[in-house]
Structure 1
Amino acid sequence: MERSIQAQELSSIFEAAASMIRCLMLDSVRVLNPPNAVAMSRLPTITMVALNELALMGYEERLPFYSNIRMPNLEILYCATWLNTFRGYLPDSLKTLAIGWDLDGRNQVCRPFDTENFYLRWFVKWKTLDDILYLIPKLMIPRNIQHIEIVSETTGDELPFNMDDLESVDKFESFILDLHRNGSLQKVTFTFEPSYTDVRCGEGLADRFTKLNPLGLVDVRVDLPSVLYNLR
């Protein structure tokens, strides 16, 4: 259900529960008459010390994430929409960055996060694995990533990405191999979530990565939940 709220009202809720809220999801919250920076500066600084996980589901341009709302202990961030409008008010360092959208074009800009884990939900418009490579340097510091997980909902035997496009597979493997050799990357996981059908699309997938699999970098999980992030 969509809820309309004044920015001051939402800030008051944050302030009252700052020491208790560990996980926060904002879904269909529309802020009425969002205040400008001067008006926000008159509100008290709120330090949400307990907040460990934040999920942003939409309406990002109207959420009151300004410098007076601080999240010093935030470790897990999920975004279902583009986040550049309030990126400056989020911590630079995270444990897990989870993305559930296609970024809507390559011209968007965002200050990269320093994160150990990257969860990416496969978007239906993507066709090959190299379609996602531009996201990594755009959203995070590549050399610091330790684990990448690509998650998809699959209801048949076909993979969501084309493994017969050998050029795209080679680009993907070369990119991942560079992150491993010149950075911190230790694992790439492909997760095919539980389905109501008998899914076999992931069978034999690891063997098709001839550069990565011999190094033990590829893990394939079929009919299992994500290892990095599960939306509550």
Structure 2
Amino acid sequence: MTQYLFPPRAVPTLPIRGQSVRFPVNRIFCVGRNYHAHAVEMGRPVDKSVERPFYFTKSPQTLVDSGATVPYPAGTQNYHYEMELVLAVGKPGFQVSAEQAHGIIYGYAAGLDMTRRDLQLAARDKGRPWDLGKDIEQGAICSEIVPMEGVVIEKGAITLEVNGQTKQSSDLDKLIWNIREIIADLSQFYHLEPGDLIYTGTPEGVGPVVPGDRLVGRVEGVGEVTLTVGAAA
């Protein structure tokens, strides 16, 4: 039996709708600037004809179940929400074609990619990694996984409310790179594995939150994710 210097942290997991077992999370990939209107509001328009998707990661340990209250994080004065459709991988896949991408899909969830926007933009403008802006403790919030094996979602409303006011409202058919294209491209670089999550990008309307704010995000046909922002850590 393996002995450890100190107890290892438990594997992050998410609930699965209609099941008593939980979904063990392996890695969290995120697609950057995957809605045209959001890319424009960030000052970086995307030309799909000459560009390919780009990605960043969040540590699995940043994952938090929907419904949580999380502290306003240290080191930022501009903490932003980003509402996203989350894809859950259920089968291994490497160099998967777009036509076969559906074969590795287990299901979907609604998620929030929380961002230290001031730190992200400062790093971006200096050509540095985004880790401090994106890989935030308790900064990846996710709903239950909805099993939809082999289903490719191509459209559906995606919205976010802050304290009852709509801040983001778009449709999944506005993704620059759709679900099939994301899987095909990402799998050129990684052996995708069961338990991987892919945050597929956020629409326009991102903005700041303050302690006490309550966020409610919805993805049509998938579900709802909620978050309360607590006092500063």
With the shorter chain as reference, the TM-score category is: under 0.3
Higher relative contact order, structure no. (Cα contacts within 8 Å, ≥ 6 residues apart): 2
Which structure's CA Rg is the greater one? Answer: 1
- The structure carrying a bigger helix percent of its residues is 1
* TM-score when normalising by structure 2: 0.24
* TM-score when normalising by structure 1: 0.24
